Amino acid sequence: MLSVKNIHANIDGREILKGINLDIKPGEVHAIMGPNGSGKSTLASVLAGREEYEVTEGAVSFLGKDLLELSTEDRAREGLFLAFQYPVEIPGVSTTNFIKAAVNEKRKYLGQEPLDAVAFLKMMKEKMALVEIDQRLLSRSINEGFSGGEKKRNEVFQMAMLEPKLAIMDETDSGLDIDALRIVANGINKLRSPDRAMLLITHYQRLLDYIHPDFVHVLYNGRIVKSGKKELALELEEKGYDFITDDIDLAANQ
């Protein structure tokens, strides 16, 4: 589904990603972990098409298409979803209207008829129940005055509505208390399916207590330095990142 080959990326002339390789198949859940500044969010931004990042080398194919050639909106309409680490507050734009526009833009792109008001409301109701989000939040402006947990829940709700093929969750656990984390993680779990892949980006292991990944990768200094099964996350939790990164720093200095 997603094949990342030797991606190098810069921001403001500084190289952040230094050759990332990653293969994700339908139905798989991958977790990318790593210390602060290792390039986790940069990877998410590059995949979603944030223009400040310049890809200097490498290739990404998504469902057989050259992802890097697609605009941000086309990536979304092809089925890539980024749950933001810091969802943006947009005063004056109602959440419901925004999601309706997004759903119908995607349908248009795929050559489908737009959803009418009734069908859209029915879909909203189903997905609202799935991710446990309150109707009142959705009638407000996008994320305006939402708590941290409400913002993240809104991200998962949008993911439910847009039914992506690949969901990238950028630090979805950050800023959540334990109850909010559980609700958000439950929502994500309910959206797991054999034809949907997920890429979880996280600093801490605790999200992985709720969402069990198939694969865990450790990102350090712009490269994936270790990959394994979910046990790797537990090992990281126990020993800290140092047990991997020290070896690498040592090797680099020799």
Burial class (CB in 10 A: 0-12, 13-18, 19+), 34: buried
Pairing relation of β-strands 166-170 and 223-228? unpaired
Say whether residue 82 binds other proteins (CB under 8 A).
yes
- Please work out, in degrees rounded to the nearest 5, the angle formed at the alpha carbon of residue 79 by the alpha carbons of 153 and 89: 35
The contact mask relative to other proteins for 150-189 (x = CB under 8 A, - = no) is --------x---x---------------------------
Three-state secondary-structure class, residue 160? helix
Total residues binding other proteins (CB under 8 A): 29
The contact mask relative to other proteins for 102-131 (x = CB under 8 A, - = no) is x--xx--x----------------------
What residues from 9 to 48 belong to the interface with other proteins (CB under 8 A)? 48
Which is closer to other proteins, CB of 84 or CB of 215? 84
| From 34, 39, 87, 187, residue interacting with other proteins (rule: CB under 8 A) | 87
Contacts 24+ apart (CB under 8 A), 124-127: 124/96, 124/99, 124/161, 127/157, 127/160, 127/161
Contact of 165 with 197, CB cutoff 8 Å: yes
Which is closer to other proteins, CB of 57 or CB of 163? 163
Three-state secondary-structure class, residue 210? helix
Residues that bind other proteins (CB under 8 A): 48-51, 71-73, 75-77, 82, 84, 87-88, 90-93, 98-99, 101-102, 105-106, 109, 141-142, 158, 162
